[in-house]
């Protein structure tokens, strides 16, 4: 019986030290903490070397500065992850600088409001390109490098809107597709030692949210909508991502981890003044 019980001691680094991660959407305005920036910083604190990818390289560079200030190692890389050539170059940059690739954290996404009647064809296609095609393309180019490293892990960012539609039809569809893509890739690449999971954030308060403008009243309503009555931040998402990439999650794949303070359990219909999730 003792031989059947495999001891699995995870070090303080969570098994992340010495590994290499690509984090897309890793920038954020100013010193704000978005989902991608939080993940990049937390991974670096655990000893992972991080390629911080953003369409605005200045934002990625600020994340790198924050990582380096904490003693971590990172590289800023400019890419539009809706382009296959940029995704290929992103992976090559990781290999050239760090020699391997173990993790991919997909954060890039945009929002939209309204029903199928309200949505324009152009907006629909743009949403699917940014929210779904980008994750297909990054994974397509990252997975072969992970195979060569002996395995790896991917986390894709979805949303509770995929699980509880609430007046954001195109966005909900795109984020539902992310969950389906995650589950399919988990089956496809599990035999190669590559785990693929999903985080579904609720309405967290990040630079992407407050740059659009939100009244104190709207922000307070969002906070009260969660079962816990507290406000989520990018750090909450970053901690979930780091867990799913770590050795603590070695037996988890194809899973969608909801990080929303219970909002999807208790929240009323979406507040027109809110954002996120």
Distance CA 155, CA 39 (A): 11
Count CA atoms within 13 Å of residue 55 on its CB side.
9
Residue 266 pLDDT greater than 90, yes or no = no
pLDDT of residue 272: 39
- Provide the 3-class DSSP secondary structure of residue 155: strand
Which residues have a catalytic role annotated? 171
Distance CA 127, CA 27 (A): 20
Query: Which residues, listed in sequence order, are joined to residue 78 by a DSSP beta bridge?
Result: 54
> How does residue 268 score in pLDDT terms, banded at 50, 70 and 90?
low
Choose the weakest-confidence range: 78-87, 109-118, 125-134, 192-201: 109-118
- Provide the 3-class DSSP secondary structure of residue 249: helix
> How does residue 225 score in pLDDT terms, banded at 50, 70 and 90?
confident
Residue 23 pLDDT greater than 60, yes or no = yes
CA-nearest of 101, 94, 68 to 79 is 94
The alpha carbon of residue 212 and the mean position of all alpha carbons in its chain are separated, in whole angstroms, by 20
Which residues make Cβ contacts (< 8 Å) with residue 60, sequence separation at least 6? 26, 27, 52, 53, 54, 76, 77, 78
Residue 53: enclosing H or E segment and its boundaries?
Answer: strand 49-54
> How does residue 89 score in pLDDT terms, banded at 50, 70 and 90?
very high
> How does residue 269 score in pLDDT terms, banded at 50, 70 and 90?
low
pLDDT of residue 166: 81
pLDDT of residue 9: 64
The domains found in the chain, sorted by start residue, are 17-260 (3.40.50.720)
CB 95 within 8 A of CB 101: yes
pLDDT of residue 206: 75
- CA distances to 14, 16, 43, 248 from 9, rounded to whole Å, are 9, 13, 19, 9
Distance CA 219, CA 42 (A): 26
Token readout for 22 is: 């690509």
What size, in residues, is the chain? Answer: 277
pLDDT of residue 211: 67
- CA distances to 24, 106, 165, 242, 243 from 138, rounded to whole Å, are 9, 8, 26, 18, 21
Token readout for 167 is: 């007046």
CB 59 within 8 A of CB 27: yes
Distance CA 196, CA 78 (A): 24
pLDDT of residue 35: 97
Q: How many CB atoms lie within 10 A of CB 220?
A: 12
pLDDT digit string, tens, across residues 138-165 = 999 999 999 999 999 999 999 999 999 8
Residue 12 pLDDT greater than 90, yes or no = no
Q: Beta 152-157 vs 194-201: how paired, if at all?
A: parallel
């Amino acid at each position: 019986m003792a031989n059947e019980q495999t001891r699995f001691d995870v070090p303080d680094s969570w098994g992340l030290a010495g590994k290499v991660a690509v984090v897309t959407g890793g920038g954020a305005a100013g010193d704000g903490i978005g989902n991608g920036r939080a993940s990049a910083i937390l991974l670096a604190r655990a000893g992972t070397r991080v390629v911080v990818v953003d369409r605005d390289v200045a934002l990625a560079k600020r994340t790198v500065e924050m990582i380096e200030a904490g003693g971590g190692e990172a590289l800023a890389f400019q890419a539009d992850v809706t382009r296959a050539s940029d995704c290929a170059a992103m992976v090559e940059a990781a290999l050239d600088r760090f020699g391997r690739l173990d993790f991919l954290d997909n954060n890039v996404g945009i929002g939209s409001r309204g029903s199928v009647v309200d949505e324009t064809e152009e907006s629909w296609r743009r949403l699917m390109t940014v929210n779904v095609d980008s994750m297909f393309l990054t994974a397509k180019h990252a997975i072969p490098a992970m195979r060569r490293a002996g395995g790896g892990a991917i986390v894709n960012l979805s949303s509770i809107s995929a699980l509880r539609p609430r007046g954001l039809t195109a966005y909900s569809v795109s984020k539902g597709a992310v969950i389906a893509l995650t589950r399919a890739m988990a089956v496809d690449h599990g035999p190669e030692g590559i785990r693929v999971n999903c985080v579904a954030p609720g309405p967290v308060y990040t630079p992407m949210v407050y740059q659009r403008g939100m009244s104190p009243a709207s922000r307070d309503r969002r906070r009260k909508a969660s079962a816990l009555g507290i406000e989520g931040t990018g750090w909450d998402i970053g901690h979930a991502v780091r867990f799913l990439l770590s050795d603590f999650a070695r037996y988890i794949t194809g899973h969608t981890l909801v990080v929303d303070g219970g909002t999807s359990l208790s929240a009323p219909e979406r507040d027109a003044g809110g954002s996120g999730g």
